[in-house]
Amino acid sequence: MNNTNNEEPSSLQKKLLPRHISFMAMGGVIGTGIFKGSAETVGIAGPGVIFSYIFAGLLLLVVMSAIAEMATIYKGKNMKEFIREAFGERFSFVIGWLYCFMWLSVCVIEIIAAGSFLQYWMPEVPLWLLSLACAAFIIIINTMSVGGYGEFEFWLAGIKIAMIIVFIVLGVCILFGIIPGTNSPMLHNFTGNGGFFPNGWTAIFSALLVVMFSYGGSELIGLTLSETQDAEKVLPRVVKSFILRVILFYTLPILIICGLVPWNSLNEHTSPFVQVLTSAGLQGAAHLINFILITAVLSAANSGIYGATRMLHSMAKDGEAPAALGRLSKKGVPINSLKLSGIVLIAGSMIAYLTQEGLFRLLMAVPGFVVILVWISICMAQFKLRRTYPHEPGFKVWGYPYITLITIFCLSLIALMFIFDAQNRISIGVCLGVLFILIIYSFLKFRTSNKRTSS
């Protein structure tokens, strides 16, 4: 028994299948960003916001391709270890802890959101109690073996993906008058109310600040490599299909929403999906969407805890976090990392109970900014390592080095937009403060040794 508990961190179980890792990443991406946050992005740029999602999707394609390329060279290593291979332990330490900070922030947001959605059915129950129940549910799911976890997340993410597909089909039928008795606006809402770009084409770039938050989590695939059989063969196939699905699952529903409801009449406090189905006169739409919203945010939180615990495990293995965080349970789960994440979720729920509105404003911009830094680091690692590969990669980023450099440049510009955006001043200040502390601590922690370790 004790031998099992004291296994080396490298003994993570390789039980994730291609469908698991694809849906896990989609579970992290398709959450509040599409079901609720799309109202905000449409309010910023109107129907033309789909170009924000397409542009961000192209950047994401390069990032995911970079991960897939490095996976074919450095077998058995994950996203953080690619960064460590390229830039050493200090850089890896900073990015690793930032990534954990990002995911735990997301998880706090998601469980509080889940609690607020549950209040629709149980208004008498306090928000903090419902949020704690959601946190306990997510922690219990993450104690399962990675194979069982992957299967559960596959079905949890599948529910909201199925909902989006049904919504697209139903929306097209309503939009073009295929369903009898419904008011078909055809293309009027795309041309009226200021047209396709009511706030000008520059609003597309303003919306990117929210879109980046929505797409954050896609890179989670880069952390599944240690628990995926033949990851170097599986990942390139998954990446190709994953990017197309993500872009379609964001752009098509938003086109439907803007086609059925005028962009300037969307209420940011209600899901656009609810508004569309309600306007179509479909009874029970609110209850159905509320159920989907709960599964969506719980799925995103589920993926987030996986991402945080696997990153902490990887850091513990490389001496960048306390060794105790690398300890595995009998089922191959980083149990101490999971306990730490659970403590953060509980604390986050209670803090949100005390200052709910302020905390939401504080946390929402954190994931978007941090994920940009992580994406930049991935692209920089691929750019640097490509020239030192021991053999030709089985999968390559197209247009290297120009496409990689262009992606780094675009992501850097978006990061600067975050920094100088007045609405995100507090959130970005927190991020920059955490970044500064991590940089200082990295120099103190690794001051006695400059050697890089490769496992």
Contact (CB, 8 A) for 325 and 316: yes
pLDDT given for residue 37 in this prediction = 72
pLDDT given for residue 406 in this prediction = 96
CA torsion 421→422→426→432, rounded to 10°?
30
pLDDT band at 5 (very low <50, low <70, confident <90, very high): very low
SS3 sequence of 153-202: HHHHHHHHHHHHHHHHHHHHHHHCCCCCCCCCCCCHHHHCCCCCCCCCCC
What is the number of other CB atoms lying within 10 angstroms of the CB of residue 32?
22
CB-based burial label for 124 (10 Å; 0-12, 13-18, 19+): exposed
Contact (CB, 8 A) for 186 and 175: yes
Distance CA 104, CA 307 (A): 9
Distance CA 227, CA 334 (A): 12
Give the pLDDT confidence of 184-243 residue by residue, as tens digits. 666 777 777 777 888 888 888 888 877 887 787 777 776 666 556 666 666 777 776 777
The stretches of 355-388 forming alpha helices (DSSP H) are 356-385
pLDDT given for residue 454 in this prediction = 43
CA-wise closest residue to 377 among 254, 219, 233: 219
CB-based burial label for 391 (10 Å; 0-12, 13-18, 19+): exposed
Cis-peptide, bond into residue 18, ω within 30° of zero: no
What is the number of other CB atoms lying within 10 angstroms of the CB of residue 324?
12
Per the structure block, which two tokens stand in for 368? 């978007």
pTM passes above 0.75: yes
pLDDT given for residue 7 in this prediction = 44
pLDDT given for residue 144 in this prediction = 79
Residue 288 DSSP symbol: H
Distance CA 82, CA 222 (A): 9
pLDDT given for residue 453 in this prediction = 44
Task: Say how far residue 226 (Cα) sits from the centre of its chain.
Answer: 19
Give the pLDDT confidence of 303-319 residue by residue, as tens digits. 888 888 888 888 888 88
Count the alpha carbons within 13 Å of 241 in the hemisphere toward its beta carbon.
11
pLDDT given for residue 193 in this prediction = 74
Contact (CB, 8 A) for 425 and 84: no
CA torsion 159→114→60→225, rounded to 10°?
-70
Between the ranges 49-63, 149-163, 353-367, 423-437, where is the mean pLDDT highest?
A: 49-63
91-95, 124-128, 273-277, 404-408: segment of lowest average pLDDT: 273-277
End-to-end CA distance of the chain: 26
Residues whose CB falls within 8 Å of the CB of residue 19, separated by 6 or more in sequence, listed in order: 154
pLDDT given for residue 268 in this prediction = 63
pLDDT given for residue 101 in this prediction = 87
Distance CA 371, CA 405 (A): 18
Count the alpha carbons within 13 Å of 12 in the hemisphere toward its beta carbon.
27
Provide the residue type at 25 as one letter. Answer: A
List C-alpha distances in Å: 158 to 24, 34, 298, 320.
Answer: 10, 15, 13, 35
CA-wise closest residue to 104 among 302, 296, 341: 341
Give the pLDDT confidence of 247-261 residue by residue, as tens digits. 788 888 888 888 888
Mean pLDDT of the chain, nearest integer: 79
Contact (CB, 8 A) for 169 and 277: no
pLDDT given for residue 380 in this prediction = 95
Decide which of 117 and 182 is more confident: 117
111-125, 277-291, 378-392: segment of lowest average pLDDT: 277-291
Give the pLDDT confidence of 23-67 residue by residue, as tens digits. 666 666 676 677 777 777 888 888 888 898 889 888 988 998 898
pLDDT band at 17 (very low <50, low <70, confident <90, very high): low
Distance CA 246, CA 24 (A): 12
Residues of the chain above pLDDT 70, percent: 79
pLDDT band at 6 (very low <50, low <70, confident <90, very high): very low
Q: What is the largest CA-CA distance in the chain?
A: 75
Give the pLDDT confidence of 341-389 residue by residue, as tens digits. 999 888 887 776 666 555 555 666 678 888 899 999 999 999 999 989 9
What is the number of other CB atoms lying within 10 angstroms of the CB of residue 120?
14
Per the structure block, which two tokens stand in for 294? 């709960």
Distance CA 261, CA 171 (A): 11
